[in-house]
Each structure stands twice: as C-alpha cells, then as structure tokens.
Amino acid sequence: MQDGFFFEPFLSVEYSAPKLSGGAQNSKFKTDNIFKQVTAFDNIALGIHGRIHKYVGFNANWAQTDLSSTEMANYALEKKANYALNYTNFSALFFVPLIEDSKVEIFAELGAADMKSKISIFETSGEYTKKQSHQTATFYGAGFQIAPFDSSNDSIRMSFLRYAGKIALLDTNLTIVRLGYVKSF
C-alpha cells in the first residue's frame, strides 16, 4: 500500500458464523452443519471494500443467517423455531500494518447495520406465530488480513464483530466471526 490518499476497490465473500449469547433460552438458536449452510447459501456475507489510505478503508456488505432452536422462552414448541436475519453493514476500517507493504495487517472496524429479522414458531397447541422486525444497530470489531500474493492485493481476512444492544425478536446479543477472501479489481 502507498502513503497518501488513493482509491482501490475490492469485492469480498466471507463465511459469517453467528453466535448468540445473553438471552437465556433464546440464545440457544444454532446454525445447521457447515455443508447445509453452504448449499443453502446461509451465513454468507458479500460486500465491497474501498481502500482510500494505507490506514483507512470503508466496507459495505450484505449478509444473511438462518438459525433454529428446539427451545424458546415462553413457548412449548412442536418443532424447531426458525429465525432469519438479513442485514447490511456499513463500516470504516482502520488498519495497522504488521509487515511492511501491508502484507499482514490488523484492523479495527466500526459501523452500523440495517437489520431485518423474522421468526416462525410452531407450538404444541397448534398455534403458529410469525413475527418480523426491523432495527438499526451499531457494531464494532477487530480482525486481521494477509495478502500472500505478489501479483495482486487480494487477501484472506478474518474478523470478529459485536453488535451493540440486543437483536430484535430474540432479545439476545449477536457476535459474528467471519473468514473470507477479498479480491482487488
């Protein structure tokens, strides 16, 4: 990476593993196994990234996740409750090169997310409940990326994101771990 201001665009594709916590029984929602997730295009984040300085970049990405649980607070479930979350993140990234020429970098990330969620609940009484919600949440995170290629600025990235406040419908905390590929063009 060069010093001073410039613009270099990237596309990203990342596996986006969700972790729920702090919501009693509602934090027991889990993902399917990795093979089902990939074939159903679950827990994938697609995005664009623009690097404007050696130390600064901007991100916009869309992700979706599907979770299910056999337990849910205040409900007797007939079958698994299903929770779906679609969200768009907008963030700024602040890089610190660990190896010259930005081959290995750590970064901090700060941003906001537009989140749409829905839940489907099938109770033993025969009742069916479907709820939807929309919220905006801030998030913060950290990560690292490695650019192992001599012929391009493509990199492999891993990051950890924590959303402030509780996510709608489940009243639980959301943490995301991402691993993916960032392609320069």
Report whether 55 contacts 92 (CB < 8 A): no
Q: Which helix (H) or strand (E) is 165 found in, with range?
A: none
Q: Lowest mean pLDDT: which of 66-75, 110-119, 156-165, 171-180?
A: 66-75
| Domain count within the chain | 1
* Residue 75 domain-assigned (yes or no): no
Q: What is the CATH number of the domain that holds 161?
A: 2.40.160.20
* Residue 165 domain-assigned (yes or no): yes
Domain span at 154: 5-66+88-115+136-184
* Residue 82 domain-assigned (yes or no): no
- pLDDT average, residue stretch 169-182: 94
Q: CA torsion sign, 39 to 68 to 121 to 115?
A: negative
* Residue 41 domain-assigned (yes or no): yes
- How do residues 152-172 score in pLDDT, each as one tens digit? 889 999 999 999 999 989 889
Give the pLDDT confidence score for residue 84 in this predicted structure. Answer: 94
> CB under 8 Å to 44, separation ≥6 — which residues?
13, 14, 15, 16, 63, 64
* Residue 56 domain-assigned (yes or no): yes
Indicate if the pLDDT at residue 1 is higher than 70: no
Give the pLDDT confidence score for residue 25 in this predicted structure. Answer: 66
Q: Please state whether the predicted TM-score (pTM) of the whole model is above 0.85.
A: yes
Judged by phi (left if over 0) then psi (alpha if -120 to 50, else beta), residue 34 lies in alpha
Report whether 83 contacts 64 (CB < 8 A): no
